[in-house]
Amino acid sequence: MDYTEIITEIYNEVRGIKERGKVADYIPALAEIDPSQLGIAVATADGNVFGIGDWQTKFSIQSISKVFTLAMVIRHIGDEIWQNVGREPSGNPFNSLIQLENECGKPRNPFINAGALAVTDRLMRLYERPKEDILCFIRQLADSEDIYFDKNVAISEIYHSSRNSALAYFMKSFGNIEGDVETLVDIYCNHCSITMTCGELARSFLFLANRGVNPFNGEEVLSVSMSKRLNALMLTCGFYDESGDFAFRVGLPGKSGVGGGIVAVIPGELSIAVWSPGLNRHGNSCLGIEVLERFTTRLQTSIF
Ligand code: GLN
């Protein structure tokens, strides 16, 4: 199937939309991004990629990286991670501190910041060279060597990481973080800073559309059951306190980041990445959701 026509149509429709939200400015380096950009890429399991607009421009994947780090951890320790992190939607903003005290320092799920920090803390102990290993993992999934940290974005976030450091120290006070918090926040901000294009991002999520197998080298990244679970977590928690609405409008497992990227998966068929830097009040790309809603509605395909 050729997806060029459908994504071109949708691109032409939505690029006229004026209400595009606001770029993330709490990470100063992200505030400088031109909000008029829009890219869409679809990757199919046979290795084809269809793209339109700014689909070959690199952008900061931010929280989308939390899916990669979780995959890296569960492929090693499986269910053990659920001792540190829950798997329920939080119904709160991604950087909220509120539930952590009542719930004794155990974050609701791996995609809110607290949960991702707890996952990265485990990752630090499982991998000898965490930063290099994260890049290597993503490069294999995307079948591209051209994937790097954006040092400018990483440093900008580290300088403004009081809230993430607070989350990490708070969890440490409950014994739910073992590593050194400064090192943890450094690794976390670096993995959030990774830049990818829509094309690379769509390719790198194909394993989740392919029962856990990387279609580029045939390697089993996750078992069928783990891949089901990761998709289930993306569906229920991938958009923070907008996860219900994303499921309602789009009907696919997916993950967003404050860089304006969203990637979603139709299991057994394809993955699709959209990038538009303007965010709504939940920190999710306004046009990204709009594109995906039109895509599944027009295709008449979702997981429902
Ligand atoms: N690096 C960002 C943060 O920690 C990621 C947030 C996001 O993309 N939702 O705040």
Residue 47 has pLDDT above 90, yes or no: no
- For the chain, percent of residues with pLDDT exceeding 90: 98
Cβ of residue 161 lying under 6 Å from some atom of ligand 1: no
Å from CA of 188 to ligand 1 middle: 9
Cβ of residue 276 lying under 6 Å from some atom of ligand 1: no
Query: What is the rounded average pLDDT for all residues in the chain?
Result: 97
Query: Does the annotation mark 276 as catalytic?
Result: no
- Comparing CA positions, the residue from 241, 287, 235 lying closest to residue 261 is 287
pTM above 0.75, yes or no: yes
Å from CA of 109 to ligand 1 middle: 14
Local confidence band at 281 (pLDDT 50, 70, 90 cut-offs): very high
Residue 97 has pLDDT above 90, yes or no: yes
Number of H helices, E strands in the chain: 14, 7
Could you tell me if 65 and 191 are in contact, meaning their C-beta atoms sit under 8 angstroms apart? Answer: yes
**At residue 73, what are phi and psi to the nearest 5 degrees?**
-80, -45
Q: So what's the pLDDT on residue 162?
A: 97
